[in-house]
């Protein structure tokens, strides 16, 4: 199913993941409109389409934009920092859940046919079985995961009542950057491991901490499933193709189905960057599961999705290239 000529609204399309998806949508021939308040995103990251600088909480503005007519909405705008969600839960329920509620409502009122939603593996909490399938119980352990779980449920119930069809993509650990270093993760004070490690290697941070080295894993550190942002963006394109071709609504895990420990990731960063990363060992963070790996078979089967960047050093290499470019960009 071709997407050429489709008009697509991308909320949060100036952010890390949204900007990669917006770029790929433009490359598919879509007419892209990005809706972003630029609180964590950047206007320069919008490589394809028009940018509307506005907040999702401004429902009057959002309604006027949707009224101009769209075939689909891809929703990325959200707060995503887990510790912050614990310290300030109302911020997360307001921005992630309430704003999503209004977006879903306005999509329905404006006859938007399809929605692709940026969700998270945090809806599973601390899963008892790994790899984690989509049938695993939803048991979030922080407001971030709970806010996304609620947004998913609203979307599901709305479809039952005649609202838009949807694909909800539950991300595992997203990393890497555009291979040409045009865009990448530029969120201030980012907490993602590969991003942090590359910042340390670039001299932008003095060091970093491993949170827990006594987990029941081969080397004692947490194991995670890292997916390259380009492959994740391609999953969004495939999800939109699925829906526009008449496919049924889906909830799909986004990962490669294999994990790497924190120490394995840091070793890969050392090999790629040639840097001896200063690392301290600290205590565990509350609620961190020892292992979190996706069962991504449904994603591969339903969307005919096949990863192109399933290599840890390749992921790190694109993140490292971006970090060096972004350091010069910020210095200008």
Residues noted as catalytic? 144
Closest residue by Cα to residue 49 from 111, 2, 7, 77: 7
Contact indicator for 176, 230 with CB cutoff of 8 Å:
yes
Contact indicator for 47, 182 with CB cutoff of 8 Å:
yes
| Partner residues linked to 53 by β-bridges | 36
Cα 106 from Cα 67, distance rounded (Å): 9
Token code pair at residue 120: 């998270």
The structure tokens 């989509």 sit at 134
Please, what's the largest Cα pairwise distance for the chain?
Answer: 56
Contact indicator for 154, 101 with CB cutoff of 8 Å:
yes
Cα 115 from Cα 178, distance rounded (Å): 24
Those residues whose C-beta lies under 8 Å from the C-beta of residue 181, and which sit 6 or more positions away, are: 318, 321, 322, 325
Cα 167 from Cα 152, distance rounded (Å): 10
Instruction: Please tell me whether residue 164 adopts helix, strand or coil conformation.
Output: coil
Helix 193-201 and helix 312-331, axial crossing angle in degrees, nearest 10 = 60
From the number of C-beta atoms within 10 Å of its C-beta (0-12, 13-18, 19+), residue 278 rates as: exposed
Cα 97 from Cα 233, distance rounded (Å): 23
């Amino acid at each position: 199913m071709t997407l050429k000529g489709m008009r697509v609204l991308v909320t949060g399309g100036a952010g890390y993941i949204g900007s990669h998806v917006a770029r790929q949508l433009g490359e598919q021939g879509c007419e892209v409109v990005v809706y972003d308040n630029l609180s964590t995103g950047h206007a320069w990251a919008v490589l394809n389409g028009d940018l509307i600088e506005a907040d999702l909480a401004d429902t009057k503005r959002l309604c006027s934009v949707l009224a101009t007519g769209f075939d689909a909405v891809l929703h990325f705008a959200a707060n995503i920092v887990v510790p912050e969600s614990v310290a300030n839960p109302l911020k997360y329920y307001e921005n992630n859940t309430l704003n999503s509620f209004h977006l879903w409502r306005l999509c329905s009122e404006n006859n938007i046919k399809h929605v692709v939603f940026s969700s998270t593996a945090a809806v599973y909490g601390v899963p008892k079985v790994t790899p984690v399938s989509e049938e695993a119980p939803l048991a979030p352990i922080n407001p971030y995961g709970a806010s996304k779980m609620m947004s998913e449920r609203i979307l599901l119930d709305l479809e039952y009542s005649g609202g838009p069809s949807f694909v909800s993509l539950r991300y595992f650990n997203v990393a890497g950057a555009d291979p040409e270093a045009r865009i990448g993760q530029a969120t201030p004070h980012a907490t993602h491991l590969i991003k942090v490690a590359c910042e340390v290697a670039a001299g932008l941070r003095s060091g970093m901490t491993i949170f827990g080295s006594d987990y029941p894993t081969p080397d004692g550190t947490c194991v995670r499933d890292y997916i390259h942002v380009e492959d994740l963006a391609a999953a969004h394109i495939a999800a939109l193709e699925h829906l526009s071709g008449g496919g049924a609504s889906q909830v799909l895990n986004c990962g490669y189905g294999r994990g790497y420990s924190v120490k394995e990731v840091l070793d890969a960063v050392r090999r790629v960057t040639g840097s001896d990363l200063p690392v301290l060992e600290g205590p565990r963070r509350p609620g961190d599961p020892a292992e979190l790996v996706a069962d991504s078979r449904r994603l591969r089967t339903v969307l005919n999705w096949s990863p192109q960047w399933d290599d840890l050093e390749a992921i790190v290499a694109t993140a490292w290239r971006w970090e060096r470019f972004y350091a010069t960009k910020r210095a200008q």
